[in-house]
Every structure is written in structure tokens, then in C-alpha cells.
């Protein structure tokens, strides 16, 4: 009987522990995830050609995009958006960096890893990005 109570209690504790863990878990990050490697120009082309098809491949997936930094913009919370050129001025790849204080120079060749949020009026968005190269 004692053994049974112990088992039930242990299971209960594990359940509560898991619940608390899940409840407080922070949103996922890209660090340990393998991304889909693609050049900025190819990602832009895929979205320009067929947004729905591109979404089915890339939306909310981890993407490692490589390209040249055309410009950067600082958002209102002090985060940096890195805009990669694609050869098409109406279809940039815009990557918001996850960590503040990271510097990326205009004209530099970079590889950024982040979650793809899809395409919009100013280009294709990647969010929660880190610089991998």
C-alpha cells in the first residue's frame, strides 16, 4: 500500500513539475536547430514566383540565409533589422536579430539563422535571428 502511495505521489510530483516547466518555458530559439540553407536572392525569388508555394516550404521554418547587408534599421525596442539585398529592390530579405547589441556592417557578407515569418509589402521577414557567419 505504502509503495502504491509513493508511486502515485511521485507521478503526481512529476506531473506538476512538468506542468510548471511547460507553463514557464520560454519561446523556442534557433540555436540548436538545423536551418534550410538558401541565398537571399533565391528566397526572394521563391516568394516572388509563388507566395503560397514558398510559404509551404519556408513559413515558420528555420532558415539560414546568406547575402550582402544592404542596410540596417533599429526598431523601437533597440533591436536591429538587417536588410539583405536580393537584386530586386522591391523584395528584400529583412532579418530581425534576437539579441541586442550585435553589430552588422553595411556591405558585409553574412549568414543569418532565424524563423521565417513570410512575405509582405517590404520583403520576406525572418525573426529571432542570430548571426552564424
Partner 1 sequence: MKKFILTAAILAAGSTALFAQKYMTRTARITFDATSKGSPEDIAAVNNEVASILDSKTGDVVFQVPVKSFKFEKALMQDHFNENYMESDKFPKSDFKGKVGNLDALNFAKDGSYPTTVAGKLTIHGVSNDVNVPGTIVVKGTSVTLKAKFAVKLADYKISVPNMVADKLGKEALISLEGVLNQK
Output 34 or 52, the one with its CB closest to partner 1. 52
**Helix or strand or coil: residue 61?**
coil
Site string for partner 1, 111-130 (x = CB under 8 A): ----xxxx-xxxx-x-x---
Q: Is 31 in the site for partner 1 (CB under 8 A)?
A: no
Q: Is 42 in the site for partner 1 (CB under 8 A)?
A: no
Handedness of CA 51, 53, 57, 60 (dihedral sign): positive
The runs of H, that is alpha helices, within 1-133 are 2-24, 40-49, 51-58
Q: Is 86 in the site for partner 1 (CB under 8 A)?
A: no
Taking CB under 8 A as the binding criterion, the range among 9-17, 35-43, 72-80, 99-107 that sits at the site for partner 1 is 72-80
Q: Is 22 in the site for partner 1 (CB under 8 A)?
A: yes
Dist CA 28 CA 32 (whole Å): 10
Residues 6 or more apart in contact with residue 5 via CB below 8 angstroms: none
Q: Is 24 in the site for partner 1 (CB under 8 A)?
A: yes
Residue whose C-alpha cell reads 543569418 in the numeric block: 112
Q: Which residues in this chain contact partner 1 in the complex, by CB under 8 A?
A: 22-28, 55, 59-60, 73-77, 79, 81, 83, 94, 96, 115-118, 120-123, 125, 127
Amino acid at each position: 500500500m505504502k509503495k502504491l502511495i509513493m508511486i502515485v505521489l511521485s507521478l503526481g510530483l512529476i506531473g506538476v513539475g512538468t506542468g510548471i516547466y511547460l507553463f514557464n518555458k520560454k519561446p523556442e530559439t534557433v540555436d540548436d536547430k538545423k536551418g534550410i540553407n538558401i541565398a537571399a536572392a533565391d528566397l526572394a525569388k521563391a516568394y516572388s514566383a509563388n507566395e503560397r508555394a514558398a510559404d509551404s516550404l519556408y513559413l515558420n521554418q528555420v532558415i539560414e540565409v546568406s547575402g550582402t547587408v544592404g542596410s540596417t534599421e533599429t526598431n523601437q525596442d533597440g533591436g536591429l533589422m538587417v536588410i539583405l539585398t536580393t537584386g530586386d529592390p522591391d523584395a528584400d530579405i529583412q532579418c530581425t536579430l534576437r539579441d541586442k547589441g550585435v553589430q552588422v556592417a553595411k556591405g558585409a557578407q553574412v549568414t543569418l539563422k532565424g524563423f521565417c515569418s513570410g512575405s509582405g509589402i517590404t520583403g520576406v521577414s525572418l525573426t529571432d535571428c542570430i548571426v552564424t557567419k
